[in-house]
């Protein structure tokens, strides 16, 4: 399937626009795209007429220009005829917002739409979905723009069966400064499915990390997905729902999917180097870390630098819980670091991993420690737990440590409290492609993601 018309459209028809109800989903979609996005948008309603002085077309076929994508927001029983009209017009693909298909027990109606589309090689997203948000291109979400929080354009491709989870995750991404290349709500995924999206993202140069919220698969589909994910050259993150008995029941009623045996699926993901996020918090941390270091790390050996012994202990506990290793560093490394430290702290620091430089350390102490720790053969990844209110820490520490990570060629993860007054430190890391967590546990989860997505 050629999905370019859906994800990079120049023209779009919105079918189902109301002449009397401005809050109708089709009207929300039409107004957003017509007024705020570069895609040229045409409204469609069988009655014809006009809408806000714009011509209202009675059919997609009446539009005088070629149409890349149609957004279909009509009653379920009318969808097959609209799809047929789109095919006759030569539309490139569709997003079917309408509900009332398999999730409501109308399996036959959904299959009718699928059969029509497959015979004509006509791709569509949905039904029962929000559809597509492509930064700078198009937004088919029937949610008012003023209520939406959009992440910046970035390199995360995110696919979700649930529109609500997708929108909520976009809020979390925006809060962490994580950008997206494309977000797709696939709903009942009657035609375009996760494996199709893997194919698209694999060749999409704007995407570095592929993330999924998955409720269930058809029989044997899960194995096909894992096989394709393993072969993918980009890291794949999965947040799987339907783990409990009640969750499985909810999955069936939500998108009519088969949740399957979660434990088996989870174990297979581990074996095939797919990073499974246990919750939305992990999903956010995983995506941020892998967007910076898509190659992952081989052994999960983490060297922790802290300005507080307590933070180091918390990180060590969390690291063990999440399967990371906090190895001893070589004596030569410890001796070299001690030699480079300020005279005032040489006798009070602890250079056993986690390394505690104390709150009396200054930038040069932290930078020298990171540089030589990165050269230790036992360490795969550096974790810098910063306390920006320490008197010796400057606003440039993020940029300075980022330079170390670039020069030494070793992944680095930072923890800095997510407060406006520390924004310049956070930006020093993020502008240099170093992930920053807003909690110690978040930093550990980022390291966990790098271990889970190690090269197979």
Six-digit token string for 392: 């010796």
Give the rounded distance of the alpha carbon of 167 from its chain centre: 11
Q: Is residue 58 located within the same domain as residue 170? A: no
Q: Is residue 158 located within the same domain as residue 240? A: yes
Q: Is residue 77 located within the same domain as residue 169? A: no
pLDDT at 218: 85
Q: Is 267 inside a domain boundary?
A: yes
Q: How big is the chain, counted in residues? A: 456
Q: Is residue 315 located within the same domain as residue 374? A: yes
pLDDT averaged per 10 residues in sequence order, the chain, 456 residues: 93 95 95 95 92 92 97 97 98 97 94 98 97 95 89 96 95 93 97 96 96 90 90 93 59 50 80 88 94 89 96 96 94 96 95 96 98 96 94 96 96 95 95 95 95 65
End position of a domain, from candidates 122, 141, 165: 122
pLDDT at 456: 45
Whichever domain contains 81, its CATH number is 3.40.50.720
pLDDT at 14: 98
The parent domain of residue 278 ranges over 149-292
End position of a domain, from candidates 292, 311, 340: 292
Give the rounded distance of the alpha carbon of 340 from its chain centre: 40
Element (H, E) at 70: strand 69-72
Q: Is 306 inside a domain boundary?
A: yes
Whichever domain contains 191, its CATH number is 3.40.50.261
Q: Is 195 inside a domain boundary?
A: yes
Q: Are 313 and 354 in contact (CB under 8 A)?
A: yes
Number of domains into which the chain is organized = 3
273: left (phi over 0), alpha (psi -120 to 50) or beta: left
**CA gyration radius for the chain?**
25
State how far the alpha carbon of 200 is from the alpha carbons of 137, 197, 382, in Å.
17, 5, 33
Q: Is residue 287 located within the same domain as residue 300? A: no
Q: Is residue 182 located within the same domain as residue 252? A: yes
pLDDT at 270: 80
Q: Is residue 6 located within the same domain as residue 19? A: yes
pLDDT at 260: 57
DSSP H helices, 350-396, are 363-374
pLDDT at 248: 52
End position of a domain, from candidates 240, 275, 292: 292
C-alpha 226/C-alpha 246 separation (Å) is 25
pLDDT at 254: 46
pLDDT at 251: 47
Q: Is residue 51 located within the same domain as residue 73? A: yes
């Amino acid at each position: 399937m050629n999905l370019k018309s859906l994800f990079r459209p120049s023209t779009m028809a919105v079918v189902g626009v109301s002449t009397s109800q401005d809050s109708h989903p089709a009207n929300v979609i039409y107004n957003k795209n017509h007024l705020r996005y570069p895609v040229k948008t045409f409204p469609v309603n069988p009655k014809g007429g006009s809408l806000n002085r714009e011509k209202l077309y009675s059919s997609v076929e009446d539009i005088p220009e070629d149409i890349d994508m149609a957004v279909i927001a009509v009653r379920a029983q009318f969808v097959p005829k609209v799809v047929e009209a789109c095919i006759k017009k030569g539309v490139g693909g569709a997003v079917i917002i309408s509900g009332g298909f398999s999730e409501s027990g109308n399996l036959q109606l959904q299959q009718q739409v699928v059969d029509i589309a497959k015979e004509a090689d006509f791709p569509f997203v949905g039904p029962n979905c929000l559809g597509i948000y492509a930064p700078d291109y198009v937004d088919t979400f029937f949610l008012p723009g003023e209520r939406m929080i959009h992440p910046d354009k970035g390199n995360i491709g995110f696919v979700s069966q649930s529109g609500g989870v997708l929108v909520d995750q976009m809020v979390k991404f925006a809060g962490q400064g994580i950008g997206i290349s494309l977000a797709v709500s696939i709903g009942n995924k009657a035609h375009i499915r996760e494996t199709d999206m893997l194919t698209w993202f694999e060749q999409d140069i704007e995407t570095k990390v592929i993330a999924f919220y998955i409720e269930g698969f058809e029989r044997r589909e899960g194995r096909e997905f894992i096989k394709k994910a393993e072969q993918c050259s980009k890291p794949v993150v999965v947040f799987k729902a339907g783990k409990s008995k009640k969750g499985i029941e909810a999955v069936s009623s939500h998108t009519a999917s088969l949740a399957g045996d979660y434990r088996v699926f989870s174990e297979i993901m581990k074996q095939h180097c797919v990073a499974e996020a246990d919750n939305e918090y992990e999903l956010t941390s995983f995506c941020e870390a892998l967007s910076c270091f898509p190659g992952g790390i081989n052994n999960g050996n983490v060297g922790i630098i802290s300005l507080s012994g307590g933070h180091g202990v918390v990180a060590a506990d969390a690291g063990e819980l999440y399967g990371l290793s906090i190895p001893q560093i070589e004596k030569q490394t410890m001796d070299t670091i001690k030699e480079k430290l300020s005279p005032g702290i040489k006798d009070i620091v602890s250079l056993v991993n986690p390394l505690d430089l104390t709150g009396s350390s200054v930038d040069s102490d932290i930078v020298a420690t990171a540089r030589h720790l990165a050269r230790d053969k036992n360490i795969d990844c550096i974790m810098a737990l910063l306390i920006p209110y320490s008197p010796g820490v400057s606003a440039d520490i993020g940029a300075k440590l980022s330079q170390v990570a670039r020069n030494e060629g070793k992944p680095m993860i930072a923890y800095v409290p997510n407060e406006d007054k520390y924004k310049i430190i956070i930006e020093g890391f993020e502008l240099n492609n170093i992930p920053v967590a807003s909690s110690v546990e978040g930093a550990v989860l980022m390291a966990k993601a790098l271990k889970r997505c190690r090269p197979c």
